[in-house]
Chains A and B, each alone.
Chain A
């Protein structure tokens, strides 16, 4: 485990199947996954190419997390591995962390009323296993990477994709 550990997404391998979301939701026993797969529907582009932009948005585990700084209740702290963790006891569900995150990763769980986010499957990591989304991706589009350079690339890609997505038209029913 390094402080640069994060989940890296390879669009060249992604088949838009959303297994990442389901592996996450099932592992964490949630209706909603902690990471979000964004992929619309394929469409024809110039020269007969078929276009499909896919992306997996999840916590990049920033070293100076804006969510931590934004929390007015001190509910977010860095754990021994340098990952921002939300204390359910201290969280009031105000949503300040979600607003502060550049890719809106934390969200307030409607059942518990507290904010939740990806912790790289802390329980699985403790047992020497990969995060559920990475292990379960059927096409090998997700990987757990370490190192400053790969983190910076992944972080920039994620922000760019998020910005692009939110500049475009609203999502469509995915069928």
Chain B
């Protein structure tokens, strides 16, 4: 048995990998680190990934036209030499900054960042623009720190609001378990969403809201808290700057006004505000996870955090706590090289001076590739990331990518992006890979190690080795490590830990010498009698309603709500989401996951289906604004908002080697024409749910199963 970290999604749950005859036998939770062998279906299906037909078997170099599917096999030296030579040529001609890299960060993130610094390009992007960008930036604007510095204290929470956060389906095992435990211990769970979800089924109260109007809902909650003087005045006095501006701003945003926007009765909004005040400060209004939804999602995320602020839940037991335990810190590869001085292609730091962090706006880099403004992007490395699926409008993306001379995919499985690339450098799957150590922040900080449990099945390599070898060929041999042990020893320098400290459980705890109060003491202390108020890393040390940096950049901190379009007839707003049985678009060909969720279908409200003469299970044709269309089965759904047509993301695969996934369901991103330019007005993050489709019954009912 090997202790490792699951790589089936980004949550990196500690796991035990049980092997037999050199093959994975069973994968379950790490009992020593999590107290349970429980593991979500994707983690459980890891052994099926080992045998997946959509795995890559060795390096490939394209021979025909892009996306034509003609490849020649190459050995590793040839493939790496080829990429390094092309990169060298492009950088000599267009500058180092013409190289773009995007990733869905995992243990390799430090290596990818270091690689980009080493070659001198600032254009490292994460997938965040189509994920957590709005929630993270909202946290920065109000509290001065990213959302990762705060944690939700579910264990002591009395009222938890999950708004568009389907935490029990789009889930991470530890968080889902914490929420269920809290609910079993008496925490009231309120779910606000556009459709019925499993999270809603477990909630004490479920509120169906018109898609795109969460901001109006939250403004009415803020209005009610203030108008009825339900907020924590002492906390606001001590810890919130610019309260007067907020009070004046939300004065017109009454529950009666919001009711007309959100399709939620005013009494529901008022009752929720009152219950929040009763439970304060042991309340959490979840700040959102994937928030790349609407053009007002950034303001929605800000308003959610402002509700927490008015209720005094920051720093309170059962609220939002700072990670104040000593957090682990590893020696990083990125620190070996200075941050490149060149400005970023996506405008972060100059055109958008106020954006915090360095996750970037990938779509802006792709647009720069085609426009050459501020400078051309000529090489693009996508590692563990599939932008042609993750970002909207793949047709436009392919057109933009025509201006990129070299497209490299570093990935363990085939993807739309790999298929369209020039060179594929295949990485080990997680079961086969010793990976860089990662630091887990939070209440129980620890260092965690992903270790190879089985030998590689194909001619693949660890992703960190691939980048190290590319770096070495480009003259940066400090990133080249002969073995994982060498890399781990580098990371552990200065921590006082050695590799052997991970042998017992796969993790190494970080010593905490503080006197920590018991949960009972913590809750008593947080109940209005906090000796010490939290100090926020903002210039004033308080939550700043007006963010000076963004105001200086021309972005108003309190932006008025914009009414949303209300589709009727055969027009629907296209919504998308995730399910625990698949990770984005990369697990649909896994035999076990395919069996439990083979394809997506279109959820539409029962009343709209009836009006269109569509029955449950019928096949319909949906058509996007640009004429792109496809057929899909309908799920006639009671309790769904009538504006919406929902489908799970990640389906509609087409590659021939994806023999299970190909031809099953539809790909939501193909129904978002112009989606790269459809972004949040303030934050620049992609807004995936601002697209509309028309629906028509198919002539032959139930033609294909």
B485: shortest Cβ distance to chain A, in Å?
30
Q: Which residue of B lies closest to A28 (CB)?
A: B26
A53: shortest Cβ distance to chain B, in Å?
9
A175 CB contacts on chain B under 8 angstroms: 579, 597-601, 635, 647-648, 651, 665
B39 CB contacts on chain A under 8 angstroms: 19, 23, 136, 138
Stretch in B55-63, B200-208, B498-506 touching the partner: B200-208
Whether B635 pairs with A173 at a CB distance below 8 angstroms is yes
B637 CB contacts on chain A under 8 angstroms: 41, 43-44
Q: Does B145 reach chain A (CB closer than 8 Å)? A: no
B191 CB contacts on chain A under 8 angstroms: 50
Q: Does B633 reach chain A (CB closer than 8 Å)? A: yes
Whether A42 pairs with B201 at a CB distance below 8 angstroms is yes
Which residues of chain A from 12 to 71 have a CB within 8 Å of any chain B CB? 12-13, 15-19, 21-23, 25-27, 31-32, 41-45, 48-52
Known contacts A136-B37, A140-B36; decide if A31 and B591 are in contact (CB<8 Å).
yes
A23 CB contacts on chain B under 8 angstroms: 26, 28, 39, 44
Whether B41 pairs with A44 at a CB distance below 8 angstroms is no
A44: shortest Cβ distance to chain B, in Å?
2
B17: shortest Cβ distance to chain A, in Å?
12
Q: Mark B548-592, 1 if CB is under 8 A from A, else 0.
A: 000000000000000000000000000000011100000000011
A111 CB contacts on chain B under 8 angstroms: none
Q: Mark A85-124, 1 if CB is under 8 A from B, else 0.
A: 0000000000000000000000000000000000000000
A47: shortest Cβ distance to chain B, in Å?
10
Whether B41 pairs with A51 at a CB distance below 8 angstroms is no
Q: Does A172 reach chain B (CB closer than 8 Å)? A: yes
Q: Does A137 reach chain B (CB closer than 8 Å)? A: yes
Known contacts A42-B201, A140-B38; decide if A15 and B580 are in contact (CB<8 Å).
yes
Q: Does A7 reach chain B (CB closer than 8 Å)? A: no
B444: shortest Cβ distance to chain A, in Å?
19
A18: shortest Cβ distance to chain B, in Å?
4
Q: Does B101 reach chain A (CB closer than 8 Å)? A: no
B592 CB contacts on chain A under 8 angstroms: 22, 25-26
Complex alpha-carbon distance, A16 and B596, angstroms? 11
Whether B201 pairs with A22 at a CB distance below 8 angstroms is no
Whether B38 pairs with A138 at a CB distance below 8 angstroms is yes
Complex alpha-carbon distance, A49 and B597, angstroms? 25
Stretch in B166-174, B428-436, B451-459 touching the partner: B166-174
Whether A41 pairs with B184 at a CB distance below 8 angstroms is no
B638 CB contacts on chain A under 8 angstroms: 43-45
**Interface residues of chain A: helix, strand, loop or mixed (majority):** loop
Q: Mark A71-91, 1 if CB is under 8 A from B, else 0.
A: 000000000000000000000
Q: Does B180 reach chain A (CB closer than 8 Å)? A: yes
Known contacts A49-B206, A50-B639; decide if A16 and B40 are in contact (CB<8 Å).
no
Q: Which residue of B lies closest to A51 (CB)?
A: B201
Kindly identify which residue among A42, A49, A138, A173 contacts B198, using a CB–CB cutoff of 8 Å: A42
User: Interface size on A (CB < 8 Å)?
Assistant: 37
Whether B48 pairs with A26 at a CB distance below 8 angstroms is yes
A169: shortest Cβ distance to chain B, in Å?
8
Q: Does A139 reach chain B (CB closer than 8 Å)? A: yes
A135 CB contacts on chain B under 8 angstroms: 28, 37-38
Kindly identify which residue among A17, A19, A32, A52 contacts B201, using a CB–CB cutoff of 8 Å: A52
Q: Does A132 reach chain B (CB closer than 8 Å)? A: yes
B interface, size bucket: 35 or more
Q: Does B45 reach chain A (CB closer than 8 Å)? A: yes
Whether B617 pairs with A139 at a CB distance below 8 angstroms is no
Whether B168 pairs with A15 at a CB distance below 8 angstroms is yes
Q: Does A174 reach chain B (CB closer than 8 Å)? A: yes
Complex alpha-carbon distance, A8 and B432, angstroms? 35
Complex alpha-carbon distance, A52 and B26, angstroms? 29
Instruction: Compute the total of residue contacts between A and B using a CB distance below 8 Å.
Output: 149
Complex alpha-carbon distance, A95 and B196, angstroms? 39
Q: Does B29 reach chain A (CB closer than 8 Å)? A: yes
Whether A22 pairs with B206 at a CB distance below 8 angstroms is no
Q: Which residue of B lies closest to A27 (CB)?
A: B26
Kindly identify which residue among A17, A25, A26, A172 contacts B616, using a CB–CB cutoff of 8 Å: A172
B36 CB contacts on chain A under 8 angstroms: 138, 140
A173 CB contacts on chain B under 8 angstroms: 598-599, 601, 617, 633, 635
Complex alpha-carbon distance, A138 and B652, angstroms? 28
Whether B196 pairs with A44 at a CB distance below 8 angstroms is yes
Q: Does B327 reach chain A (CB closer than 8 Å)? A: no
Whether A18 pairs with B41 at a CB distance below 8 angstroms is yes
Q: Does B595 reach chain A (CB closer than 8 Å)? A: yes
A25 CB contacts on chain B under 8 angstroms: 592, 595
Kindly identify which residue among A26, A27, A44, A52 contacts B208, using a CB–CB cutoff of 8 Å: A44
Q: Does B427 reach chain A (CB closer than 8 Å)? A: no
B37 CB contacts on chain A under 8 angstroms: 130, 135-136
Which residues of chain A from 132 to 174 have a CB within 8 Å of any chain B CB? 132, 135-140, 172-174
Whether B45 pairs with A16 at a CB distance below 8 angstroms is no
B566: shortest Cβ distance to chain A, in Å?
20
Complex alpha-carbon distance, A12 and B651, angstroms? 30
Whether B26 pairs with A43 at a CB distance below 8 angstroms is no
Known contacts A17-B581, A138-B39; decide if A42 and B648 are in contact (CB<8 Å).
no
Q: Which residue of A lies closest to B633 (CB)?
A: A173
Complex alpha-carbon distance, A88 and B524, angstroms? 62
Whether A43 pairs with B665 at a CB distance below 8 angstroms is no
Q: Which residue of B lies closest to A13 (CB)?
A: B180
Known contacts A16-B198, A18-B41, A18-B581; decide if A174 and B205 are in contact (CB<8 Å).
no
Q: Which residue of A lies closest to B41 (CB)?
A: A19
Kindly identify which residue among B196, B200, B596, B651 contacts A174, using a CB–CB cutoff of 8 Å: B596
Which residues of chain B from 617 to 655 have a CB within 8 Å of any chain A CB? 617, 633, 635, 637-640, 647-648, 651
Whether A50 pairs with B581 at a CB distance below 8 angstroms is no
Known contacts A49-B206, A138-B176; decide if A19 and B40 are in contact (CB<8 Å).
yes
Q: Does B440 reach chain A (CB closer than 8 Å)? A: no
Whether B180 pairs with A17 at a CB distance below 8 angstroms is no
**Among B44, B197, B581, B633, which residue has the most Cβ atoms of chain A within 10 A?**
B44
B171 CB contacts on chain A under 8 angstroms: 15, 17
A137 CB contacts on chain B under 8 angstroms: 38
Q: Does B47 reach chain A (CB closer than 8 Å)? A: yes
Whether A50 pairs with B633 at a CB distance below 8 angstroms is no
**Among A15, A22, A42, A136, which residue has the most Cβ atoms of chain B within 10 A?**
A22
B600: shortest Cβ distance to chain A, in Å?
5
A43 CB contacts on chain B under 8 angstroms: 196, 637-639
Q: Which residue of A lies closest to B193 (CB)?
A: A50
Whether B41 pairs with A26 at a CB distance below 8 angstroms is no
Complex alpha-carbon distance, A33 and B289, angstroms? 33
A26 CB contacts on chain B under 8 angstroms: 25-27, 44-45, 47-48, 592
Inter-chain pairs besides A42-B196, A132-B26, A139-B177, 10 sampled, C-beta below 8 Å: A12-B184, A18-B581, A18-B597, A26-B47, A48-B639, A52-B201, A136-B39, A139-B38, A173-B599, A175-B597
Chain B residues engaging chain A, CB cutoff 8 angstroms: 25-29, 36-41, 44-45, 47-48, 168-169, 171, 173, 176-177, 180, 184, 191, 196-198, 200-203, 205-208, 579-581, 591-593, 595-601, 616-617, 633, 635, 637-640, 647-648, 651, 665
**Can you list 24 A-B contacts with CB-CB less than 8 angstroms, sorted by A residue number?**
A12-B184, A13-B184, A15-B168, A15-B171, A15-B180, A15-B580, A17-B40, A17-B41, A17-B580, A19-B38, A19-B39, A22-B44, A22-B592, A26-B592, A48-B207, A48-B208, A52-B196, A138-B29, A138-B38, A139-B176, A140-B38, A175-B598, A175-B635, A175-B648
9 closest cross-chain pairs (CB), A and B:
A44-B639, A52-B201, A50-B200, A42-B196, A138-B38, A22-B44, A19-B41, A135-B37, A18-B596
